[in-house]
Structures are given as C-alpha cells and as structure tokens.
Copies of this chain bind each other. A is one copy, B any other.
Amino acid sequence: MKFTCQGLELADAVLKVVKASAIRTTNPILECVRLSAEDDKLTLMCTDLELTIIKTIKADVSIEGEAVIPAKFFAEFVKKISGEQINFNLIEGNIMEIFYGENKGIIQCQNADEFPEPKQLETPKKLEIKSNDLKDLVVKASVAVAQDDSRPMLRGILLEAQDGELRGVALDGVRMALVKKPLINQEDFGIVVTARSLMEIVKLLPEKNETITILTEKNHLKINLENTVLITRLLGQKSDFVSYNQIIPTSFQTNIVINRQKLYDAIERASLLNLTERNHIIKFNIKKEMLTITSESQQGNITENIPIEHTNSDLVIDFNGRLIIDCLHVISDEFIKMNFCGVMSPCVITSNQEKEDYLYLVLPMRV
C-alpha cells in the first residue's frame, strides 16, 4: 500500500470518521481507523460496532491495499501536519511509514483482516427527507432522551414513518418529546436508534438543505451522502418502545399562550435559589391574564410575573424548572401554548403556530 494525499483533506476526513471509533474497549481494533487505498481514492472507516462512519477522499495511489492505524493518535497527528502533502508507505511487519515535509513517522499497524466489514443492506426500506428537517427532529427529540442506563431502550429515539411524516419520539419517565417532519417519499416503518448515533449522524449532514435518503433493513439504518456513508445498528423496533400515544392527554382544563423567552428567563432566575438541591421545584400560579412563578429556599424567594393569554380554569402546579428549560431551549417560536389538565397531570407544550410540529410533555412535581 502506497499513496499520497493532501494533509488538510485527510485531517478533515479523519476527524469526522473518528467519532465512530470506540473508546476504552476490550477490542483495540475498534479504536483504529481502517485506510483502504484503491483506484484514485482513499477510504477511511471507523466503527464501534454500533455506529459506522466511512469517508472517501482523493488520493494518488501507487500500490493499492489496506492498513489499520490507532484512530486517536492518527487524528491528532494529521491535524498537526498543516496543509502539507503526506506520503504513506506500508512496509514489512505491518509498519506504516508517513512522510511529510522533511519529517517521518513510523507507526505500527494492526492486522487489517480483523477489522469488521461494514454492514451491507440488501432490500432496505427507504424514505426521503430534507436534511434540515432531520437535524431539527433529532435536536428537538434528544432533549427528552433518558440519561441513565436503567432502561436502555429509552437511550434511543423512536423514528416512525407514517402518513407522509417522520415522527421522532423520546421519553425518560418525567418528560416526553414528539417531533413531526414532512417526508418527501416514504415506506412505513418504526425503528429505535440511539440518540448518540443520531446526534453524530446529523452533525455530518450537509450544511445545505438537501434531500437525503434513509435506508433501513432489519437491524440497521444507513444514509449515503456525497463521499460519506453512515450506518448505525438499531436499538430496537417500534414494538420494543413505549406506546407513547397513550401518554398524551386529549382534553385540557387550562390553556395559556406565553412568550417563550420571558418564560425561559423567569424560570432561569427562579431556579437559581435552589441550585444546590436535586430538584429545581418552582410553582406555577395561573390566574386571570398572569402566570406567577415562585420559588423558595432558605436563601429567600423569587416571584416572577408574566402576562399570558388564558382560557378556562385557574391552576396552581409545581414543576422541576430544569425540565421546562430544557425544552424551551430547543424551540424558536416567539409564543408557545401550555396546556394543563389538573395539578397531578402532565403539562403539554406546543407551538402557538398553526403547524404544530413538536409536542413536549412534562410531568408535574408532587410536593
């Protein structure tokens, strides 16, 4: 194996694929990047057996072949060779010689045969979606993904393609996020993918709002982009996930419309008083055209008043302020709706615009 490529292009590609390499694993080959030189291309691949990222760049290949190099070292190394041409030469003993400028590195490679092959999809289901819609769906849904490992399925986002839209659903026992985006083309499916894989995948989507194709078959999801292939194992099927539709209340006793930024600022200030406590309990008091938020601790108390549009009953209800802040953080609407069905039932937050493309559900605190 012998090839030459541009340092900047290589560094960019390595930094992208390395996100899929394993950290602290018992199988050191998963902490490596596989380099494959063929025709006039170099293909880089990392995988931790869950997420696989493959990127192809131009290269001047004089001897085709494969090599497997420690990924973290390689990424740092090529990042620090700024803008130069780099020559690679695999010699006996599985040793890679790297020449750059006047300098030379010699790196012990692993056996390329032991590196796992990327999963091939035979007859996958297919859907087409705008890349910005997929990004937005993942960012907004991942807010509600469980952070602990007690129920692994809740570390995932349910992706459900149905009725011309893609739904992303995540929940962690105290809140739920449901995000809907239009599909261009679709075959029905319902799969669960880890939030971590989806977050890495959307970071690699093109900046321009392009139509992308998602392929899925049995246990895998695959996205083909220009020069990049993303594959992730599924965490499960729709049937493994919580039946989320049953959780969403259908009738409400109290409905308000409120300025999102004002609500955000008020909860942020009110939460300061009990920062050291585990739960940031704040009290919502909805009365006439005003929401009064209060919090109390040994240090003192804070009272915040926000004007609202309000229909139906008054209400006093307690929340963990952090749960509401988290969802307000990913919404960009100027005004939002908050719908309540009593002091022991969840609050449902939606857009105040006609097209409701997200829904957050937050359980109250029982004080």
Contacts and interface: CB of A to CB of B under 8 A. Distances in A.
Given A103-B266, A266-B103, A80 B272 contact: yes
A273 B69 CA distance: 13
A344 interface: no
Interface residues of A, number: 32
A10 to B, nearest CB: 14
Nearest to A102: B305
Nearest to A264: B80
Instruction: State how many copies of this chain the complex holds.
Output: 2
Nearest to A305: B102
A190 to B, nearest CB: 41
A25 interface: no
Given A272-B76, A298-B108, A305 B103 contact: yes
Contact of A73 (B102, B265, B272): B272
B300 A95 contact: yes
Contact of A81 (B80, B95, B269): B269
B102 A269 contact: no
A81 to B, nearest CB: 7
Interface in A98-123: 102-108
A303 B266 contact: no
A11 to B, nearest CB: 12
A265 B82 contact: yes
A297 to B, nearest CB: 9
Contact of A80 (B80, B102, B268): B268
Contacts of A251: none
A262 to B, nearest CB: 9
The 8 closest A-B pairs by CB, nearest first: A107-B300, A102-B305, A105-B302, A106-B300, A103-B304, A104-B303, A80-B269, A106-B301
6 contacts: A77-B269, A77-B272, A80-B272, A102-B305, A106-B302, A108-B300
